[in-house]
Every structure is written in C-alpha cells, then in structure tokens.
Structure 1
Amino acid sequence: MRKYLAAGAVAAAAVLLAACGSGQVGQSGSNGSAPPPNKNLVLIPGVQAEPFYISMQCGAQAEAQKLGYTLDTSAPQKFDAALQTEKVNALGSNPPAALLIAPTDDTAMLAPIQQVANRGTKIVQVDTSLKDSSLAVSSISSDNTQGGQLGADTLAQLVGDRPGSVLVLDTIAGTSTTAARAAGFTEQLKKYPNLKALEVQFTQNEPEQAAAKVTAALAATPDLIGIFATNLNTGEGAATGLRNAGKIGQVNLIGFDASPAEVTGLRNGEYQALIAQDPAEIGKQGVDQAVAALEGKPVTPKITAGLHSITKSDLDASSQYFYKQSC
C-alpha cells in the first residue's frame, strides 16, 4: 500500500510541475487558453461638441456595437494639433486594436499617430487625412474638392448673371479637408466670368474670427455678392457677421455641413444653401474598415462619402442629412 501511495504522490507532483511549465512558455490561464482578442476601438475626432463629429461618433458607435466591438471617443476641446496629440499620446501603453482619427494637421499629426501604429494599432483616417497616408489601412472622407465645386455651382445658380466678388473662408492652414473645399470652390468659380473669388481668408476655426473677416470684407468690397464657408464654425460666424451688418439675404451665404444652427439659418434665410456631408456614414465605414483589417478581411484603402447641395426649396426633403447633437 505504501508503494502505491508513494507512486501516486510522484505522479501528482509530475502533473503539477508540467502545468507550471506550460504556464512559463507564455500561455494565459491555468488551462493554457489564449488571451482574448483586443476588441477595443478608439475614435479621436477633430474637436468635441461639434455636430459633424457627434454624428460621426453616433454612426461609429452603432456599427461597433453591431460587430461586437467597443468604441471609446476622446475629443480635444479645440481643433488643434497640440491638443489632439495629447489625446493620441494618452493611449499610452494600452493601445486600442484600432484608432479612428481625423488628423487636425496633415503634417504635425504624423509623428504621434506613427507611435500608436508602431504598437500594433490599426489606423483608419476619417474625414481628414495626413499628407503621408501610408500609415492608414483605410481613409474615409467626402470628396472635398468636389464639395467646393458643388458650392461654386450652387452659388452661380443662385445669383444668375449678376456680377460680384465672393469671399472664401477657410479654417486653419494645413487642414486637408477645408483646404480642398476652398481650392475646389475657387477653381470652379473661374467657370463663371461674372464672379470673382477674393483671396482666401483663414478663421482658425473660430466663429468670432469668421464674423470679423466678413465685417472687414463688407467694408472693403462693395460688390460682395457671395460667401463660401468651408465648415460649420466658419458658416455660423459668417452668418453672425452678415446679421450684424444688416446684410442677411443681400449676400448669398453658402455653408458647408448641416449643423442644427445652419439648418435653422437656411430655413430663416441666413444661408442660401448648404453643402451637407454624411458623417454618420463616414463613422460607420471607418469601423467597418478597422474591423476588416483586424480580422484579416479585405480592406478598401480609400472610400468617398456622398455630398448633397441643400437649398430652402428642398430643405424638408433632405432631413436625413442633418447633423445630430447627441446619439
């Protein structure tokens, strides 16, 4: 009997030692199971509390939940490369499986995004992009050049043959999306000899600065007939400038995006047209491409979202393109 007990003790010790050895070769858990896959996604938009990016977040969140992933959003307080870099750096040593990001500067954001990519995170660009997009598995945005062209065509239809000058308000130099819109608009406007684009003015994405630029343009340009604002903050500031000068309806304001304030402004005659994007679809597609990359499925490197010209006459029929303030 003593021999059998001793043999059993030796066998048990051997099993225990084998189990410890299996743990030492890197398997997770006492049963040797593999670690669970990282299903955490992070969205870092351009700025917080902006209806465009809120709508994008809503689309991304819904799609992530549908596909069995989690998505956290971390947005800077202002559209600023330094503030966005802080958000990217905060991902630290626990990077997400994929990062969806709208770079606030097409050059300055390269280094911090590169650091995250070096940790194995898949990068998807949404809305804006870097000059060097090789880090990203996919980039999803509107065709912003086409959006600018659509704005010029819409303005030309509104003013007819009347001659005049047109102010173009951009946001911050180095912002890929708004730069493309401004360039597309000014180039397309050359097709209409009765309209002349003034030098592009930058607003630093601040409505107050946009209002001040409009005030200055009205004083210096008596024949000002139109304004093209390249995003919602610039458009809202331009509307304020026209309102303060008593020029609402006298100068045609073409805004980009369709925030609640812009939609109300179009309904009230402060805007004459809006060029609306589809940010919820951009967010959805961003998640789809990130998940495809993570799961080894085919990825589409570049996706173009739709654009829509909205005037007061078709406002109600275009409600599906209005941006949200909450999900």
Structure 2
Amino acid sequence: MKFPRKTLLAAGAAAAAVTLLAACGGGQVGQTPAGDQPAQQGNKKLVLIPGVQAEPFYISMQCGAEAEAKKLGYELTTSAPQKFDAAMQTEKVNALGSAPPAGLLIAPTDDQAMLAPIQQVKNRGAKIVEVDTALKDTGVAVSSISSNNAEGGKLAAQTLAKLVGGKQGSVLVLDTIAGTSTTNARAKGFEDELKNHPNLKSAGVQFTQNEPDQAAGKVTAALASNPDLIGIFATNLNTGEGAATGLRNAGKIGQVNLVGFDASPSEVEGLRKGEYQALIAQDPAAIGVQGVQQAVAAIEGKPTQRNITAGLHSITKADMDANAQYFYKQQC
C-alpha cells in the first residue's frame, strides 16, 4: 500500500481518460449530476483502481478480482496510479468520465481527499466498493473489504515480543503518510499492544512518505539516538525495504528485529535471508474476490455486506514454507 497528499489535482485527467475510457466504453469527463444516477442497463464492466501500480499486494488483489469477475460474467480492468498519491489517483478516477463502469473497486489513497472524486463516480451510477483502504465517510461505498489493520499491528507487537523474549530495549515504528487509514491503524495497534510488554519501550512513530530512502534514514537516526534499539515495525513494503537497507548499512541485520507488514516476493526473500525476523501477511487475493462479489451483488440488486474483514497471518523463517499460500504475486 502507499500514501496520500491532501491536495486534489484534476490537471492531466483528460489525457488519462483516453486510455481508460477506451476500456470502459468511452465518454468524457463531465459535470456531476445531482444525486445518484441509475447504472447503465446491461453494463458488465468493473474497474479496479488500486493504491499504486506494480506492487505485489495489489497485483495479488487484481488476480483474485479478475478471476472472480470472469466467473460471474463481468469484465474487470485495472488502472493504477504510479505512486500512492491522492492527486494521481484522482486523475484515474476522473478519467472514468460521464459513462463509468457498473462497479468501481478502489483503494482510496487518502481517507478524505478521495471523497469528492469517488462521490462523483457514485453519482453517475457506479456501485462503489472499498478494497484495502477506506474513506472516513462511510456513506459512499456499499461495502468495504480490508484486513483489521489495528489487529495486524497488535499481532506484529505480539510477534516482536516473542522474538525478543525478556530482553529490554526500544522499538521504532515506521509508518507511511498521515491520513492513510490502513498503515495508521497498524501503527496505532502496534503502539497500543506494546504497552502490554514492559520490557519494550516505544521510540516513537516516524513517517516515511512511503519512500524507502526516507525509511532507511529514519532507521539510521533511530540507531544513533537509541543505542538500545531492539526492534522495528515497518507498516508496509516500502518502509520495510527501507528499514532493511538502514540496518544493512549500519551492520545491524539480525541484531535489531525487523517485523514487516505484507509478504511481497522481496519481503519473503528478506525473511529467508534473515533481513526480516517476521512478516504479517494479508490475503489480498481474497480481498479482490470479495470486492467483486460485493460489487456484483450491488449491481444486481442483491444484499451486500457493509464491512468484511480479511485474514492476517504472522510468519517467521521457521514456518514460512508452511505459509507459502499467503505470499504475494508479481503477476497473475
């Protein structure tokens, strides 16, 4: 997952529209009609707009969604921004134009800034399903499917406590960007659970803007200011990779326990090599499947479930082979 800026950018939407509208049946970016409009009769098109392109978590979600859409007789296309950024994602949403798909599956990159563009698509008749992340406004989507991120953070803290045993030390949390519902909840869940382990004290939460180099720099600074640093919790892929780089540069691989979130190919390889001591894996393919199921149910006038929680799994090097089904994909 990745993360947001608070400003919206409409410039460039027309250019982005050309490619996506070709896949979605044409149309132009228009004015928002007053009130929700009925979906186009016989519209079998779904669009997935994840948080960012080329990330294994979202690729795995796309694979699950595509397979389920085909199974149910729908066509799903994916349009992902280059960065986890509200302005870039807004361009993708605006590019849907005045003839949107019957259903939009989206991972909002900002829980407030993405409200207006997503609401516009809803007003044009599309059913909205949130996948992975969610808006603060709970009245837009018919369903929201995600992991319980606070529980994921709690599980990470419990896992770290088991790894260090009774040793004492400081623990750093690397979050991404303020306003990202998923990673912020993970950080809070971790910090809350850490209070139950008196041998571990918080070295604070640092934001990395979802940039690995910033995460590496935060680790370097934390090592200098906290000589007793015993653990790091990285709330997503980029922060984890950056943290591993920081530890590697300092010669602290294996000496400071790194618990990452997600199970991308690079993280799994890092776990196998001892750069990570544990990973908290989600099930993005299942999120994609359930997202499509909820969108189709809404389109066809069937009951939907407003909130669905996906599973979480703590994986260490000792049990990673037994949990290989939770490793993320790089292609479908």
Q: Identify whether the pair has TM-score above 0.5, normalized to the shorter chain.
A: yes
Conserved? CA contact 2:104–2:129, under 8 Å: yes
Alignment of 1:258-273 (within 5 A): 258-273=263-278
| Residue equivalent to 2:258 | 253
Q: Write 1 or 2 for the structure with the bigger share of helix.
A: 1
Misfit runs of 4+, over 3 Å: none
Aligned to 1:150, what secondary structure does the other structure show? helix
| Residue equivalent to 2:122 | 117
| Residue equivalent to 1:298 | 303
| Residue equivalent to 2:113 | 108
Quote the offset at 1:156 in angstroms. Answer: 0.3
Match of 1:57 among 32, 57, 62: 62
Aligned to 1:222, what secondary structure does the other structure show? coil
Alignment of 1:72-87 (within 5 A): 72-87=77-92
Higher Rg of the two aligned structures: 1
Conserved? CA contact 2:203–2:226, under 8 Å: no
| Residue equivalent to 1:209 | 214
Q: Please tell me whether residue 157 in structure 1 is matched to residue 154 in structure 2.
A: no
| Residue equivalent to 1:283 | 288
| Residue equivalent to 2:30 | none
Q: Please tell me whether residue 234 in structure 1 is matched to residue 243 in structure 2.
A: no
Provide the rounded CA distance (Å) in 2 between the counterparts of 1:197 and 1:58. Answer: 38
Quote the offset at 1:264 in angstroms. Answer: 0.4
**TM-superposition CA deviations, 1:66-112 (whole Å, max 9, x none):** 10000010000000000000000000112000000000000000000
Quote the offset at 1:298 in angstroms. Answer: 1.2
Q: Please tell me whether residue 312 in structure 1 is matched to residue 329 in structure 2.
A: no
Classify 1:36/1:121 alpha carbon distance in 2 versus 1 (closer, same or farther; 3 Å): closer
Quote the offset at 1:199 in angstroms. Answer: 1.7
Match of 2:228 among 213, 216, 223: 223
Provide the rounded CA distance (Å) in 1 between the counterparts of 2:212 and 2:282. Answer: 20
Provide the rounded CA distance (Å) in 1 between the counterparts of 2:285 and 2:234. Answer: 21
| Residue equivalent to 2:43 | 38
Sequence identity of aligned pairs in percent? Answer: 80
Provide the rounded CA distance (Å) in 1 between the counterparts of 2:112 and 2:328. Answer: 28
Provide the rounded CA distance (Å) in 1 between the counterparts of 2:68 and 2:202. Answer: 41
Letter matched to residue 182 of structure 2 = T
Provide the rounded CA distance (Å) in 1 between the counterparts of 2:158 and 2:262. Answer: 16
Give the structure-2-normalised TM-score. Answer: 0.87
Gaps of 5+ in 1: 1-34
Letter matched to residue 293 of structure 1 = A
Conserved? CA contact 2:99–2:124, under 8 Å: no
Letter matched to residue 185 of structure 2 = A
Quote the offset at 1:36 in angstroms. Answer: 5.8
The count of residues paired between Structure 1 and Structure 2 equals 293
Aligned to 1:255, what secondary structure does the other structure show? strand
